[in-house]
Amino acid sequence: MDDGIEREVGALSHQEARAELARLAERLAQASAAYHRDDAPEIDDAAYDRLKQRNAAIEARFPDLKRGDSPSDQVGFAPAAGFAKVRHAQRMMSLDNAFDPGGVADFVRSVRSYLNLEEEAGLPFTAEPKIDGLSLSLRYEGGILVQAATRGDGVVGENVTANARTIDDIPERLSGAPEVLEVRGEVYMSHPDFAALNARAAAEGSKIFANPRNAAAGSLRQLDPSITARRPLRFFAYAWGEISAPLADTQSGSVARLSDLGFATNPLTVRCADLEAMLDHYARIEAERATLGYDIDGVVYKVDDLSRQRRLGFRATTPRWAIAHKFPAELAWTLLERIEIQVGRTGALSPVARLTPVTVGGVVVSNATLHNEDYIAGRDSRGAPIRGGRDIRAGDRVQVYRAGDVIPKIADVDLSGRPDDAVPFDFPTTCPECGSDAPREEGDSVRRCSGGLICPAQAVERLKHVVSRAAFDIDGLGAKLVEELYRDGWIREPADIFTLKERFGPGRPQQLKNREGWGETSAAKLFEAIDARRRIPLERLIFALGIRHVGEINARLLARHYGTWAAFEAAMRAAEPQAGEAWDDLLAIDGVGRVMARSLVTAFAQEAERASMERLVAHLDVQEAERPRMQGSPVAGKIVVFTGTLEKMTRAEAKARAESLGAKVSGSVSARTDLLVAGPGAGSKAKKAVELGVETIDEDDWLRLIGDA
């Protein structure tokens, strides 16, 4: 076998097959250990796959010979495959944040208003620590753990079932659980376990983790579950996804059920009658934080009544019924060595503080954002003083803070040690990269380079964005290579990526394979990777364009709304006057506001920009976006307008519910409107609907129609 002479599986005798399966098990285990444990692959991926396939073929022919340690059962062992992807039955949400009691009070007020609660009506919440780990979804069917998946992007995560099975806090079997139950919670590592793991790693000369969360993530995402098994991971259950029967009718009752079923739940989870009790519990958790023995980064409040949670529902990625009240950020003082200006993809001139490295909450920080020129000068966007009006200069001692994963910021400056020769920072009014004017538009807090595509910094940043993971995600074409190819003039704009092979491929005078560090195989591989991305989903393409305010979520909304590139492009051009039907249609998309709409139409109105997009699209096969299909929803795809007074729900609730059923809610009646839901006091909209022959129903009819009556 290893000598390359393989006999047909059909020609093997029983005895030969047994011997070969034993050899294969040993060989594959050895290869896997070399790859995962020692980071020193012995054979390449293709050879590994061939051995695995041969093993599977022999097992298929001789099922009785399948070994207890068969390589086929080693989940996640295939080095090339990594983890299999898992689509979550229900999206894994994140949480909105509040940073002070005022933010929590606003949240409680917004929930009350959404639910239209009378002033004296009670509104209990649960309050519990926000564990600083990584979330995991555990699927039980018939009480048996069948799948464990990481959060991933919330929609698709990684299948880490074999690894999750090694965690003591995660039961394999449940008794008395609903037929289908997805338990969600946080995987974390305790402080003593983290310290011991790092001490062991230091002694062995292997990798030291920066903090317990990284250690937990690194341990759970091991391709070899036997490594995870040696890592002391723990799990707190605090939520659920798909479920065939409710656990209870409250959040607190459901968490208690999870505990009865055998899950570890956090002992600091309590039910609070009102805002005061919530903030008291926050204070208690904050006071106990240092002695808990694991990292937490705030307190999570959730509406206790599950029927209210259902009414409140979700925004794009966060529930309306929960919020995380974050602890204040961690702080440290250090020296600001100099201030540099970076030019971003959209031309923004961003000041960056280069710092003498300092540890802030366990992470070494050497750069921090300074936001914009007002911030450096000690004033806010309206000109009012911040930090008592103290400006920030090179040579100052500054206080750095980190909150969550965000870029470190500067909180304060200490003037007592300011050198005598320190001078105020002179914020450039021209682009440091291309020399173009960098004006500050009315209402904009930043200066922007006006060089557009001629500015090399903007061009490179755009190209980096184009190849980034959420955009074209081209294997082997990362930020560094883009910079080099731009510098050498091989790629100046996105379309050039797709003509690289034509210009620098086989038979051309100058070839990629002749660049330093390149060869025939690597060049062919890159061309292949580029070709593989010519076919691209519309939402990725829209995101890749790098238009200001159009992030991944907005790109998806636009793609789903317009369906095809042609329709999207035509609509953006038609919406340019910022009035009329195309403009109204754009604004009617839930999640699209005026700022983003303006940014979109401006981008498409610029001749050079549009020409560059067209050159790119000419090389692509853009896939149509799937319109949201809400099976069985009678209002899916319909344009609905609400008017007059609604008595059984608030306007916000009606809109959110309609959208969750696939309808589009618009603020005005037009010939495109499918349905007008009119409450008492409906005025001009009802009249217009009659004129246009738009179907009009009342609130009760609406509730019956959508099955909520």
Give the active site residues: 130
- Nearest residue (CB) to ligand IVH, 34 versus 268: 268
Spatial CA neighbour of 134 closest among 39, 229, 224, 211: 211
Q: Does 304 bind ligand IVH (CB under 6 A)?
A: no
CB of 208 to ligand IVH, least distance (A): 24
Q: Which stretch binds ligand IVH (CB under 6 A): 126-134, 357-365, 516-524, 598-606?
A: 126-134
Q: Does 272 bind ligand IVH (CB under 6 A)?
A: no
CB of 577 to ligand IVH, least distance (A): 41
Q: Is 681 exposed, middle or buried (0-12, 13-18, 19+ CB in 10 A)?
A: exposed
Measured between alpha carbons, how far is 456 from 440 in angstroms, rounded to an integer?
A: 20
Q: Does 324 bind ligand IVH (CB under 6 A)?
A: yes
Strands across the sheet with 144-150, in order?
Answer: 144-150, 134-141, 180-188, 234-243
What letter would DSSP give residue 65?
G
Q: Does 131 bind ligand IVH (CB under 6 A)?
A: yes
Measured between alpha carbons, how far is 37 from 34 in angstroms, rounded to an integer?
A: 6
- Nearest residue (CB) to ligand IVH, 17 versus 312: 312
CB of 306 to ligand IVH, least distance (A): 12
Q: Is 376 exposed, middle or buried (0-12, 13-18, 19+ CB in 10 A)?
A: buried
Task: Tokens for 297, please give them.
Answer: 């980064």
Q: Does 149 bind ligand IVH (CB under 6 A)?
A: no
- Nearest residue (CB) to ligand IVH, 129 versus 494: 129
Please tell me the count of residues contacting ligand IVH according to CB under 6 A: 14
Measured between alpha carbons, how far is 24 from 6 in angstroms, rounded to an integer?
A: 12
Q: Does 128 bind ligand IVH (CB under 6 A)?
A: yes
**396: Cα separation from own chain's centroid:** 36
- Nearest residue (CB) to ligand IVH, 217 versus 332: 217
Q: Which stretch binds ligand IVH (CB under 6 A): 1-9, 49-57, 130-138, 280-288?
A: 130-138
CB of 267 to ligand IVH, least distance (A): 12
Q: Is the dihedral of CA 575, 580, 585, 588 positive or negative?
A: positive
Q: Which stretch binds ligand IVH (CB under 6 A): 109-117, 128-136, 503-511, 541-549?
A: 128-136
Nearest 10 degrees: Cα torsion 607, 612, 613, 619: 140
Measured between alpha carbons, how far is 660 from 315 in angstroms, rounded to an integer?
A: 10
Q: Is 645 exposed, middle or buried (0-12, 13-18, 19+ CB in 10 A)?
A: exposed
CB of 593 to ligand IVH, least distance (A): 24
- Nearest residue (CB) to ligand IVH, 186 versus 193: 186
- Nearest residue (CB) to ligand IVH, 247 versus 482: 247
Q: Does 347 bind ligand IVH (CB under 6 A)?
A: no
Q: Does 135 bind ligand IVH (CB under 6 A)?
A: yes
- Nearest residue (CB) to ligand IVH, 294 versus 568: 294
Q: Does 467 bind ligand IVH (CB under 6 A)?
A: no
Measured between alpha carbons, how far is 145 from 147 in angstroms, rounded to an integer?
A: 6
- Nearest residue (CB) to ligand IVH, 79 versus 133: 133
Measured between alpha carbons, how far is 562 from 75 in angstroms, rounded to an integer?
A: 40
Q: Does 238 bind ligand IVH (CB under 6 A)?
A: yes
CB of 309 to ligand IVH, least distance (A): 9
Site residues for ligand IVH, 84-103, by CB under 6 A, read 93-95
Q: Does 308 bind ligand IVH (CB under 6 A)?
A: no
Distance set, CA 680 to CA 649, 666, 674, 693 (Å): 14, 19, 20, 20
Q: Does 319 bind ligand IVH (CB under 6 A)?
A: yes
Strands across the sheet with 664-666, in order?
Answer: 664-666, 639-643, 675-678, 695-697
Radius of gyration of the chain (CA): 29
CB of 236 to ligand IVH, least distance (A): 7
- Nearest residue (CB) to ligand IVH, 88 versus 130: 130
Q: In the complex, which residue's CB is closest to ligand IVH?
A: 135
Phi, psi for 628 (deg, rounded to 5): -60, 125
Give the burial string for 52-65 (b: 16+ CB within 10 Å, else e): bebbbebbeebeeb
Q: Does 300 bind ligand IVH (CB under 6 A)?
A: yes
CB of 128 to ligand IVH, least distance (A): 5
Contacting ligand IVH (CB under 6 A), which of 130, 281, 393, 685?
130
Distance set, CA 129 to CA 106, 265, 633 (Å): 20, 11, 38
* Residue 41 identity (one-letter amino acid): P
How many residues does the structure list for the chain? 709
CB of 473 to ligand IVH, least distance (A): 23
Contacting ligand IVH (CB under 6 A), which of 158, 186, 295, 653?
186
Task: Tokens for 350, please give them.
Answer: 């961003």
Contact between residue 327 and residue 131 where contact means Cβ atoms under 8 Å apart: no
Q: Does 458 bind ligand IVH (CB under 6 A)?
A: no
Contacting ligand IVH (CB under 6 A), which of 148, 239, 526, 555?
239
CB of 510 to ligand IVH, least distance (A): 49
Contacting ligand IVH (CB under 6 A), which of 58, 177, 272, 322?
322
Q: Does 477 bind ligand IVH (CB under 6 A)?
A: no
Binding site for ligand IVH (CB under 6 A): 93-95, 128, 130-131, 135, 186, 238-239, 300, 319, 322, 324
